Chain A
């Protein structure tokens, strides 16, 4: 995965392989002898989170103020204004839509590719399974710039530069290794007998996969899909290198273009940043357990 292209960025988009190691017996849970800590600890915890989230608060704060040139922003948006959002929506709504289309496309493609592979690696006894899994892990080390460098010339030959399809293909690559790892961990936990029972009842390999394994793996599919969405939505490197005109421009590139020049309207930049952060916020609120599951990777078992 590229940084995270994500994150790596975390890029970085770190995480998946860490999981299995973390997945020791879960029975140990809840037996912690830590004494009852009360609201004092809560206060300390709130302070830690407040410091960690301050930059995000600041983003929201600046986005809600009247565009004040480069003047220092008040600590609270007393002078509430939605001008920043008006500008952001006027200038970036096309880019936001592009990001949405690319991210959804990448989710669909990566699930189509990763799900059967995860099943094969988890449930079928395939001789090269170990090799493929190793390849998935090693692929995480390939720097995004190396991938972009090669894809640029390939895309140039294939006419995929400046196309939604090109970005979907590249961004799906961010989610596929992660999806394979996380769904494989989950599907390994499905008892072989369940799949075998379906086979005995006359279901073919494909039927067993589609009507037994897929429904049981719903949570893992959601987690893999959510993270692929976040990776693709936040992708900056491929957006930067695989587009050369304004034709197809994801919102990450829109933000980069904003801050690449002298900024005289930070409220519009921050409003765009808030809009670009909405998926992350939304997922954390609506699908928190899937997000936690994803971060701890294979711990979804």
Chain B
């Protein structure tokens, strides 16, 4: 759905650019009709053209290509012979009919829901805490950003070692607890792996949630709290009746963005578990990767990717509504 506006912008500017680049080429009469306003317009569009082209090539084209690939038998052979026979809905039938699909869909929902819930609740709690003014709070807040800035694959590597069943620091800490004699196989047990992956993703998402929510909290006028305090609204009541209602727009944006981004997550799961054990952490994203780049069935990988896009689009409606004001601004 990115295509129409960008396509028009690109087409318009490519038509227009030569016009602007060739001053004096037009006859005086035509110039009277078309320039300099037309030339100025052409130049304005030229500012936009590279970005429009980029969006077209690196976002619109991949989406269109995936839609097409979803109807094709697109395998390694295609790269040699150039042939990608049409197979109608076979790819979708194979992908949606596979027993793995239900699993991956459920995992995607649990992964996204669990991550967002955890990130948001903890992120908000930390943001509210940092509303207090105390020494070093600015320094601490900026340090909090660090987990979010390091490459995700680094995060995966670190947590993989921390969650190691026999020698990981997490299990060693658990071992220190009295009366506990367990060494959970965080990443190797089919019942725990998804939980472990969600916990790591929560850790990654807290800084983002905290930072955006903190920004939103700072915009709430202090006088409201003063007035509320006079009416006896302090602590939890102040949060419930002053903070929360006023924070709602920011909350909506954070949650919807969080969902859209978490649906696409691939790095963390590939790095931590690779989708295993026994597909316990396989999501639509990782499964799509698996189909395309491990089994080299690009048609099926594309079909699953398209399912993922449709799910994102459902959220997009909410997302764009939340952002409409920002766009129109």
When the two chains form their complex, are residues A150 and B226 in contact, meaning their CB atoms are under 8 A apart?
Answer: no
CB neighbors of B among A232-283 (8 A): 233-234, 236-237, 240-241, 252, 255-256, 258-260, 263, 266, 269-270, 273, 276-277, 280-281, 283
When the two chains form their complex, are residues A31 and B250 in contact, meaning their CB atoms are under 8 A apart?
Answer: no
When the two chains form their complex, are residues A42 and B137 in contact, meaning their CB atoms are under 8 A apart?
Answer: yes
For A263, list chain B residues within 8 Å (CB): 161
When the two chains form their complex, are residues A15 and B257 in contact, meaning their CB atoms are under 8 A apart?
Answer: yes
Chain B interface helix/strand/loop/mixed: helix
Q: Is residue B203 within 8 Å, beta carbon to beta carbon, of the partner chain?
A: yes
Known contacts A41-B134, A236-B151; decide if A15 and B327 are in contact (CB<8 Å): no
Q: Which of B9, B62, B133 contacts A128 (CB 8 A)?
A: B9
- Closest chain A CB from B160 CB (angstroms): 6
Q: Is residue A138 within 8 Å, beta carbon to beta carbon, of the partner chain?
A: yes
- Closest chain B CB from A207 CB (angstroms): 11
Nearest residue, chain B, Cβ from A30: B222
For A288, list chain B residues within 8 Å (CB): 142
Chain A, interface size category, equals 35 or more
Q: Is residue A202 within 8 Å, beta carbon to beta carbon, of the partner chain?
A: no
Q: Which of A26, A58, A149, A291 contacts B145 (CB 8 A)?
A: A291
Q: Is residue B29 within 8 Å, beta carbon to beta carbon, of the partner chain?
A: no
For B44, list chain A residues within 8 Å (CB): 120, 124, 126, 205
CA distance in complex: A18, B50 (Å): 24
Q: Is residue A59 within 8 Å, beta carbon to beta carbon, of the partner chain?
A: yes
When the two chains form their complex, are residues B147 and A114 in contact, meaning their CB atoms are under 8 A apart?
Answer: no
- Closest chain B CB from A202 CB (angstroms): 14
A 9-46 to B, binary, CB cutoff 8 A, 1 in contact else 0: 11111110111111011101101111011111110111
Q: Which of A2, A114, A295 contacts B211 (CB 8 A)?
A: A295
Known contacts A116-B48, A176-B54; decide if A32 and B222 are in contact (CB<8 Å): yes
- Closest chain A CB from B299 CB (angstroms): 10
CA distance in complex: A2, B274 (Å): 18
When the two chains form their complex, are residues B211 and A137 in contact, meaning their CB atoms are under 8 A apart?
Answer: no
- Most chain A CB within 10 A, of B63, B257, B293, is at B257
CA distance in complex: A266, B164 (Å): 11
Q: Is residue A200 within 8 Å, beta carbon to beta carbon, of the partner chain?
A: no
Among the 9-residue stretches A49-57, A77-85, A215-223, the one with 4 or more Cβ atoms under 8 Å from chain B is A49-57
For A270, list chain B residues within 8 Å (CB): 157-158, 161
When the two chains form their complex, are residues B323 and A20 in contact, meaning their CB atoms are under 8 A apart?
Answer: yes
When the two chains form their complex, are residues A18 and B253 in contact, meaning their CB atoms are under 8 A apart?
Answer: yes
Q: Is residue A211 within 8 Å, beta carbon to beta carbon, of the partner chain?
A: no
Q: Is residue A105 within 8 Å, beta carbon to beta carbon, of the partner chain?
A: no
Nearest residue, chain A, Cβ from B41: A126
For B219, list chain A residues within 8 Å (CB): 22, 24-26, 28
When the two chains form their complex, are residues B203 and A52 in contact, meaning their CB atoms are under 8 A apart?
Answer: yes
For A6, list chain B residues within 8 Å (CB): 152, 267
Q: Is residue A182 within 8 Å, beta carbon to beta carbon, of the partner chain?
A: no
When the two chains form their complex, are residues B205 and A280 in contact, meaning their CB atoms are under 8 A apart?
Answer: no
CA distance in complex: A8, B51 (Å): 21
- Closest chain A CB from B310 CB (angstroms): 11
Q: Is residue A119 within 8 Å, beta carbon to beta carbon, of the partner chain?
A: yes
When the two chains form their complex, are residues B327 and A134 in contact, meaning their CB atoms are under 8 A apart?
Answer: yes
When the two chains form their complex, are residues A17 and B253 in contact, meaning their CB atoms are under 8 A apart?
Answer: yes
When the two chains form their complex, are residues B157 and A55 in contact, meaning their CB atoms are under 8 A apart?
Answer: no
Q: Which of B150, B167, B215 contacts A72 (CB 8 A)?
A: B167
Q: Is residue B325 within 8 Å, beta carbon to beta carbon, of the partner chain?
A: yes
B 48-61 to A, binary, CB cutoff 8 A, 1 in contact else 0: 10111011001111
When the two chains form their complex, are residues A31 and B221 in contact, meaning their CB atoms are under 8 A apart?
Answer: yes
- Closest chain A CB from B207 CB (angstroms): 8
When the two chains form their complex, are residues B264 and A144 in contact, meaning their CB atoms are under 8 A apart?
Answer: yes
- Closest chain A CB from B115 CB (angstroms): 10
For A112, list chain B residues within 8 Å (CB): 50
Task: List residues of chain A with CB under 8 Å of any chain B CB.
Answer: 2-15, 17-22, 24-26, 28-29, 31-34, 36-42, 44-46, 48-49, 52-53, 55-56, 58-59, 62, 70-73, 112-114, 116-117, 119-121, 124, 126, 128, 130-154, 156, 169-170, 172-173, 176-177, 180, 205-206, 209, 230, 233-234, 236-237, 240-241, 252, 255-256, 258-260, 263, 266, 269-270, 273, 276-277, 280-281, 283-284, 288, 291-292, 295-296, 298-299
Known A135-B59, A145-B308; 15 more pairs at CB < 8 Å: A12-B264, A18-B254, A21-B322, A71-B167, A134-B327, A135-B5, A141-B313, A149-B62, A150-B62, A177-B55, A234-B152, A263-B161, A280-B151, A281-B146, A295-B212
| Closest 6 pairs (CB-CB, A-B) | A131-B5, A234-B151, A117-B51, A20-B326, A150-B62, A280-B149
21 contacts between A and B (CB under 8 A): A3-B267, A17-B326, A21-B250, A21-B253, A33-B225, A39-B134, A52-B203, A52-B206, A55-B155, A71-B167, A72-B169, A116-B46, A137-B323, A146-B66, A146-B308, A153-B69, A173-B54, A234-B153, A237-B267, A241-B292, A296-B212
